[in-house]
C-alpha cells in the first residue's frame, strides 16, 4: 500500500504515516464492529442455555437487537453527577475501551495479517491491559460517589491479584517458543501448547476470565447484591462504553487463548503464507469456540464471593503457576527440538513421513519435549487437585464444626428459640 | 531523523515536560498523580523512538500499571491529603536548585559520553528493531563478566523487602 501511494507521487514518509494510520483505524474498527455481532451471539446463546428464546424481535433472529440497544443508549440523557471530577469522569470510559482495543494491534490473524509484530508482543498486551486498571480507578474516583470508589477498589484488588498467575502462565508459551513475539509463538506451535502445557492454558484462561470480569468472577458488576460498582454513576453511552469494553474483552481473551495456546492460524499445517484468508478463518473459528466456552461458563455458573476469589488466586493459582513454570522450564531443557533429526525421521518414510506430511516437520521435532511436558503437567495437575480436595474437605469440616458450635451455644442460652 | 520522527519527538517532549510541570504545579494531589502518568507515557514513547521497545513496555507495565496505582492508593488512603489550597512546601527553591543541578549533571554526562554525536538520534534506524537487543539484555543479566552481581544483589534486596513486608503485615500473633 505504501508503494502504491508513492507511485501516486506521495512523499514516502507521508505515505507510510497514512498507511499506518489507515491500518490502525481498520484494525480498531474491526474489533468494535465485531462486538455488535458478538453481543447478539452472547445474548442468544445465553438465552438458549437458560431455556429462554433470547432476542428475537428486532430483525431476523433478533440480529438488530444490539443496534436498538445502541440507539437507546445514545439517546439517553448524559448525566454528570454534581461534584464529579469532570475531565477524569469523562476520560475513564474512553481509556477502558482503548486499553482493550489496543490489544488487537499485536494479534496475528494469519501468517502475514498482523497489526504490528512486535518482538515484545506478549509484554505489550500485558502492559496495555494494565491501563484498564487505571481507567477503572479514574471512573471510581471521578464519579464522586463512595460506592463507586469502593467498587473500584474491589475491582482493582481483583485485577492486580489475577495479573500475577496470568503473567506466570504466559511465561510458559514464551519459554517454549523462545520469543515474546506473538507471531513467533504461533510459529512455534507445531504442537498447540495446550497439549504441551495444559495447566498453564487453564491458569491463563481462568485468570483472563477474572481480568475481563466475566462470570464466575463478575462480582465487579454484581448489580443485585452489591450495587454495581465503579460504573454506578455512568449513564447513556458512557455506560455503554464500559459494557462494550467488557464484551470486547471477552472476545479478546478468546483470541489471546487461541494465539498463545491453541496454535493461532496453524491448522494441520495450513494457514502459512499464501493462504491468509484461510488462516484468518481458522483463528476466528478457534476464537469463536473459546468464546462459546466463555458464554457457557457465564450462563451456568454462580458468582464467587470476593474473599473466595482472592483465596483461590493466592492459595491455588499462584503457587500452581509458579511450580508449573519451574516444571516446564526443566522439561523444556531436557529435550531441545532437533530439526535435523526430525528431518531425517521424516525422510525415513513410514509413520514419520506421514506425520511430517500431515503436521509438518516441526511436529516431529517438538514431539519428545511436548510429551515430557504433557506428562509432567498431568502429574502436577493430579497433585494440585489432590491438595485442593484435601483443603476443601478440611474447610468444610471446619465450617460444619463452627455451625454445630453455634447451634449448641444457642441451645444452651435460649432453648425456646431453638425449639421453634 | 526525518520530519515524522521530529514530529513524534516534539509531541513526546511536550508530554514529558508538560506532564512533569503539571505534576509539580497542580494543587490537586490526585490530578498530580494523573499528570505523572502522562509524563511517564511520554518517556515510554521516547524509549520506543530510541529502539528500546522492551524498556517502553516495562515502563508502561511497571511505572504506570503498578507504581502510579500505588501512589494513587497512598493518596486516597491518607486523610486530609485532598483539597490542599496552599503550597505545602516552603523550601521549593531548594528543590528547584537540586533538580536543576541533577539535570545539568545528567545532560553533561550524556553529551560527554556520546563523543560529539547527538545522543537523541538512535544509532540504527527504527525499521531495524530486532529481537537481538532483548536477547543481549537477558544474557547480560546472567553473564559472569557483566551484570550478574548487581542483578543478584537487587534480587536479594527485593527478597528482603518482601519478607519485611510480610513480617510487618502479619503483626503480632
Q: What is the ipTM of this complex?
A: 0.72
Q: What domain count does chain B have?
A: 3
Tell me what pLDDT residue B139 has. 78
Q: Which residue on chain B is closest to A16 by alpha carbon?
A: B4
Shared domain for B66 and B21, answered yes or no, is yes
* 3-class secondary structure per residue, chain B: CCHHHHHHHHHHHHHHHHHHHHHHHCCCHHHHHHHHHHHHHHHHHHHHHCCCHHHHHHHHHHHHHHHHHHHHHHHHHCCCCCCCCCCCCCCHHHHHHHHHHHHHHHHHHHHHHCCCCCCCCCCCCHHHCCCHHHHHHHHHHHCCCCCHHHHHHHHHHHHHHHHHHHHHHHCCC
Shared domain for B15 and B67, answered yes or no, is yes
Is residue A14 included in any domain, yes or no? Answer: no
Contact A254, A287 (CB under 8 A): yes
Q: What is the mean pLDDT of residues B80-100?
A: 73
Instruction: Report residues of chain A scoring pLDDT below 70.
Output: 1-3, 5, 9, 222-226, 268-274, 349, 356-360, 412-420
Is residue A234 included in any domain, yes or no? Answer: yes
Give backbone dihedrals phi and psi of A363, rounded to 5 degrees, phi first.
Answer: -60, -45
For residue B122, pLDDT beyond 60: no
Q: Which residue on chain A is closest to B66 by alpha carbon?
A: A130
Contact A32, A57 (CB under 8 A): no
Shared domain for B27 and B64, answered yes or no, is yes
* Chain A interface mutation, best of B1, B28, B34, highest count of A Cβ atoms under 10 Å: B34
Asked if A16's CB is within 8 angstroms of B61's CB, the reply is: no
Give backbone dihedrals phi and psi of A114, rounded to 5 degrees, phi first.
Answer: -150, 140
CA distance A175 to chain B (A): 13
Going A314 to A317 to A319 to A325, the CA torsion angle's sign is negative
Q: What is the mean pLDDT of residues B116-137?
A: 56
> Which among A13, A133, A160 has CB closest to B3?
A13
Task: Spell out which residues of chain A touch residue B33, defining contact as CB-CB under 8 Å.
Answer: none
Q: Computed over its alpha carbons, how large is the radius of gyration of chain B?
A: 20
Q: Which 3 state secondary structure label does DSSP give A139?
A: helix
Tell me what pLDDT residue B42 has. 92
Task: Spell out which residues of chain B touch residue A128, defining contact as CB-CB under 8 Å.
Answer: 60
Is residue A351 included in any domain, yes or no? Answer: no
In the block, residue with C-alpha cell 442468544: A44
Tell me what pLDDT residue B102 has. 94
Shared domain for B39 and B61, answered yes or no, is yes
Distance CA(A110)–CA(A172), nearest Å, equals 22
CA distance A178 to chain B (A): 10
Distance CA(A370)–CA(A189), nearest Å, equals 10
Shared domain for B75 and B100, answered yes or no, is no
> Which among B30, B64, B134 has CB closest to A134?
B64
Asked if A119's CB is within 8 angstroms of B129's CB, the reply is: yes
Contact A91, A138 (CB under 8 A): yes
CA distance B102 to chain A (A): 30
What's the predicted TM-score (pTM) here? 0.83
> Which among A85, A119, A133 has CB closest to B65?
A133
**Count of A-B CB contacts under 8 Å:** 59
Shared domain for B78 and B99, answered yes or no, is no
Residue A276 belongs to domain spanning: 78-303
Shared domain for B76 and B146, answered yes or no, is no
Task: Spell out which residues of chain A touch residue B54, defining contact as CB-CB under 8 Å.
Answer: 119-120, 123
B128 — pLDDT class (breaks 50, 70, 90): very low
Q: Which residue on chain B is closest to A133 by alpha carbon?
A: B65
Shared domain for B104 and B139, answered yes or no, is no
CA distances from A220 to A60, A157, A242, A296 (A): 33, 11, 12, 19
Tell me what pLDDT residue A224 has. 65
Task: Spell out which residues of chain B touch residue A137, defining contact as CB-CB under 8 Å.
Answer: 69, 72
CA distances from A20 to A1, A2, A24, A363 (A): 10, 9, 6, 36
Helical axes A12-49 vs B3-25, angle rounded to 10°: 60
Is residue A164 included in any domain, yes or no? Answer: yes
Shared domain for B116 and B58, answered yes or no, is no
C-alpha cell at A98: 482503548
Q: Which residue on chain B is closest to A131 by alpha carbon?
A: B65
Q: Which residue has the higher pLDDT, A274 or B54?
A: B54
CA distance B115 to chain A (A): 30
Shared domain for B9 and B79, answered yes or no, is yes
Residue B40 belongs to domain spanning: 1-83
Q: What domain count does chain A have?
A: 1
In the block, residue with C-alpha cell 501448547: A193
Task: Spell out which residues of chain A touch residue B134, defining contact as CB-CB under 8 Å.
Answer: 119-120, 180
> Which among B34, B54, B68 has CB closest to A120?
B54
> Which among B30, B61, B131 has CB closest to A130?
B61
Shared domain for B15 and B68, answered yes or no, is yes
C-alpha cell at A33: 464492529
For residue B121, pLDDT beyond 60: no
Tell me what pLDDT residue B127 has. 44
Tell me what pLDDT residue A418 has. 47
Distance CA(A142)–CA(A82), nearest Å, equals 11
Is residue A259 included in any domain, yes or no? Answer: yes
For residue B131, pLDDT beyond 70: no
| Contacts for A10-19: CB closer than 8 Å, 24+ residues apart | A13/B2, A13/B3, A13/B4, A16/B4, A17/B4
Q: Select from B20, B53, B83 the last residue of a domain.
A: B83
CA distance A53 to chain B (A): 42
Instruction: Provide residues of B within 8 Å CB-CB of chain A.
Output: 2-4, 30, 34, 37, 53-54, 57-58, 60-61, 64-66, 68-69, 72, 76, 129-131, 134
Task: Spell out which residues of chain B touch residue A138, defining contact as CB-CB under 8 Å.
Answer: 34
Distance CA(B119)–CA(B113), nearest Å, equals 9
Asked if A123's CB is within 8 angstroms of B57's CB, the reply is: yes
> Which among B2, B54, B57 has CB closest to A13?
B2
Is residue A407 included in any domain, yes or no? Answer: no
> Which among B34, B37, B57 has CB closest to A124?
B57
Distance CA(A194)–CA(A328), nearest Å, equals 13
Shared domain for B25 and B39, answered yes or no, is yes
Amino acid at each position: 500500500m505504501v508503494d502504491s501511494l508513492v507511485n501516486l507521487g506521495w512523499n514516502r514518509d507521508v505515505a507510510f504515516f497514512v498507511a499506518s494510520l489507515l491500518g490502525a483505524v481498520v484494525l480498531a474498527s474491526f474489533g468494535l464492529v465485531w462486538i455488535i455481532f458478538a453481543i447478539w451471539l452472547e445474548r442468544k446463546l445465553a438465552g438458549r442455555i437458560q431455556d429462554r428464546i433470547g432476542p428475537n424481535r428486532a430483525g431476523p433472529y433478533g440480529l438488530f437487537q444490539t443496534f436498538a440497544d445502541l440507539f437507546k443508549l445514545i439517546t439517553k440523557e448524559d448525566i454528570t453527577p454534581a461534584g464529579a471530577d469532570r475531565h477524569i469522569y469523562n476520560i475513564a470510559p474512553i481509556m477502558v475501551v482503548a486499553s482493550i482495543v489496543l490489544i488487537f494491534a499485536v494479534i496475528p490473524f494469519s501468517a502475514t495479517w498482523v497489526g504490528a509484530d512486535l518482538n515484545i508482543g506478549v509484554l505489550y498486551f500485558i502492559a496495555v491491559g494494565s491501563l484498564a486498571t487505571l481507567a477503572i480507578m479514574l471512573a471510581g474516583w471521578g464519579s464522586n460517589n463512595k460506592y463507586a470508589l469502593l467498587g473500584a477498589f474491589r475491582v482493582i484488588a481483583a485485577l492486580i491479584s489475577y495479573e500475577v498467575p496470568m503473567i506466570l502462565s504466559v511465561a510458559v508459551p514464551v519459554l517454549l517458543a523462545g520469543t515474546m513475539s506473538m507471531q513467533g509463538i504461533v510459529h512455534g506451535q507445531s504442537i498447540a501448547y495446550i497439549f504441551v502445557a495444559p495447566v498453564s492454558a487453564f491458569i491463563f484462561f481462568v485468570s483472563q476470565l477474572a481480568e475481563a470480569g466475566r462470570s464466575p468472577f463478575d462480582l465487579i458488576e454484581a448489580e443485585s447484591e452489591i450495587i454495581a460498582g465503579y460504573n454506578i454513576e455512568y449513564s447513556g453511552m458512557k455506560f455503554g462504553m464500559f459494557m462494550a469494553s467488557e464484551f470486547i474483552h471477552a472476545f479478546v481473551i478468546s483470541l489471546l487463548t487461541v494465539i498463545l495456546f491453541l496454535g493461532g492460524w496453524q491448522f494441520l499445517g495450513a494457514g502459512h503464507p499464501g493462504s491468509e484468508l484461510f488462516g484468518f478463518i481458522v483463528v476466528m473459528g478457534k476464537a469463536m469456540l473459546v468464546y462459546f466456552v466463555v458464554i457457557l461458563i457465564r450462563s451456568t455458573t454462580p458468582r464467587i464471593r470476593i474473599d473466595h476469589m482472592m483465596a483461590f488466586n493466592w492459595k491455588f493459582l499462584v503457587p500452581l503457576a509458579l511450580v508449573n513454570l519451574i516444571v516446564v522450564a526443566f522439561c523444556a531443557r531436557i529435550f531441545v527440538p532437533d530439526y535435523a533429526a526430525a528431518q531425517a525421521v521424516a525422510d525415513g518414510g513410514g509413520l514419520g513421513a506421514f506425520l511430517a506430511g500431515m503436521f509438518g516437520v516441526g511436529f516431529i521435532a517438538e514431539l519428545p519435549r511436548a510429551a515430557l511436558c504433557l506428562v509432567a503437567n498431568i502429574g502436577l495437575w493430579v497433585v494440585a487437585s489432590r491438595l485442593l480436595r484435601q483443603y476443601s474437605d478440611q474447610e468444610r469440616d471446619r465450617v460444619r464444626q463452627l455451625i454445630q458450635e453455634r447451634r449448641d451455644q444457642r441451645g444452651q442460652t435460649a432453648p425456646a428459640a431453638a425449639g421453634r | 531523523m526525518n520530519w515524522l520522527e521530529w514530529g513524534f519527538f516534539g509531541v513526546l517532549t511536550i508530554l514529558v515536560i508538560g506532564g512533569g510541570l503539571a505534576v509539580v504545579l497542580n494543587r490537586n494531589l490526585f490530578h498530580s498523580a494523573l499528570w505523572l502518568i502522562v509524563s511517564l507515557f511520554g518517556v515510554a514513547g521516547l524509549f520506543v523512538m530510541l529502539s528500546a521497545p522492551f524498556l517502553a513496555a516495562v515502563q508502561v507495565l511497571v511505572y504506570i500499571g503498578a507504581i502510579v496505582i500505588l501512589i494513587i492508593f497512598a493518596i486516597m488512603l491518607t486523610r486530609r491529603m485532598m483539597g490542599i489550597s496552599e503550597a505545602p512546601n516552603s523550601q521549593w527553591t531548594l528543590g528547584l536548585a537540586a533538580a536543576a543541578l541533577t539535570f545539568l549533571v545528567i545532560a553533561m554526562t550524556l553529551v560527554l559520553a556520546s563523543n560529539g554525536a547527538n545522543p537523541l538520534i538512535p544509532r540504527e534506524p527504527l525499521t531495524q528493531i530486532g529481537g537481538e537487543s532483548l536477547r543481549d539484555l537477558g544474557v547480560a543479566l546472567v553473564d559472569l563478566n557483566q551484570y550478574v552481581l548487581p542483578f543478584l544483589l537487587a534480587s536479594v534486596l527485593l527478597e528482603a523487602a518482601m519478607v519485611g513486608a510480610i513480617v510487618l503485615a502479619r503483626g503480632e500473633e
